[in-house]
């Protein structure tokens, strides 16, 4: 039996799920990289597929935009579908001058302006971080593929159109890029005792004003996708 947001049944998802924000990006990954991919969820058009990559079962499902959305889907995958690893594969905006368009960034940690952690009843501020084994495996996979990933802090924000205009101040603290999902994903993984990692491709820069067109954001981030898939294969080999 599924959930209000997921019509898949237990066993439909692989142990590792790639989570782009965009359902069309999930469809692109499934059709481009997975063998024998089958649609296991399409509630509200949030497409989820399971297939194999180099003989290893892998799933991909959209998360939607923002922490409330990925919070729902990742919680259900961790708690109701026996998923062990979720790798977010999405776009991010550079807030560090170190980064250029199409750079691959891995979120070692995730700062946030969200109150998502309030639900856990903690008396202080929780510091959301990636699972180290997943991060280390992804870095190694990237290097084998000839990529040079940048590893560091992300800013996971509840606000896209920020009226305060202070986003670049986070960059002054060494934060690399801004996106809207990783902090909730990392917190859900911590609460569930599971693993999570955000791998993002820089789609625009708040520093220079450069930006990729929407079509490129949907289909051209193949290096990031291949890194995540190779990571899934290696994690399955170790289990």
The per-residue pLDDT for range 194-238, each reduced to its tens digit, is 999 999 999 999 999 999 987 776 556 899 999 999 999 999 998
pLDDT beyond 80 at 68:
yes
The angle formed by the CA atoms of residues 64, 234 and 36, to the nearest 5 degrees, is 60
The token pair at 24 is 């069309």
> Over the stretch 28-41, which tens digit does the pLDDT of each residue have?
999 999 999 999 88
Interval 91-114 mean pLDDT: 96
What's the start-to-end Cα distance of the chain, in Å? Answer: 26
> Over the stretch 220-230, which tens digit does the pLDDT of each residue have?
689 999 999 99
Name the fold adopted by 16-238: Rossmann fold (3.40.50)
Q: Is 204 among the catalytic positions?
A: yes
Of 65, 21, 67, nearest in space to 217 by CA: 21
For the chain, the domains span: 16-238
Catalytic residue among 158, 166, 204, 216: 204
> pTM, whole model, 2 decimals?
0.95
The token pair at 167 is 């986003």
């Amino acid at each position: 039996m599924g959930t209000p947001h997921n019509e898949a049944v237990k066993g439909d998802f692989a142990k590792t799920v790639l989570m782009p924000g965009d359902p069309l990006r999930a469809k692109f990954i499934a059709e481009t990289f997975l063998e024998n991919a089958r649609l296991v969820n399409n509630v509200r058009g949030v497409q989820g597929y399971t297939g194999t990559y180099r003989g290893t079962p892998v799933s991909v499902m959209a998360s939607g935009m923002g922490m409330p959305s990925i919070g729902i889907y990742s919680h259900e995958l961790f708690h109701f579908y026996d998923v062990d690893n979720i790798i977010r594969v999405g776009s991010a905006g550079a807030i560090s001058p170190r980064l250029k368009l199409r750079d691959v960034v891995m979120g070692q940690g995730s700062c946030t302006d969200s109150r998502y952690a309030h639900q856990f009843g903690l008396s202080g501020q929780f510091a959301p971080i990636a699972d180290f084994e997943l991060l280390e495996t992804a870095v190694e996979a990237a290097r084998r593929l000839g990529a040079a990933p940048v590893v560091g802090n992300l800013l996971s924000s509840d606000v896209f159109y920020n009226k305060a205009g202070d986003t670049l101040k986070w960059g002054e603290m060494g934060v690399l890029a801004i996106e809207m999902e990783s902090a909730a994903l990392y917190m859900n993984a911590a609460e569930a005792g599971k693993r999570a990692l955000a791998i993002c491709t820089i789609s625009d820069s708040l520093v220079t004003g450069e930006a990729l067109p929407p079509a490129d954001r949907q289909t051209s981030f193949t290096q990031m996708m291949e890194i995540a898939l190779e990571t899934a294969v290696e994690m399955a080999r170790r289990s």
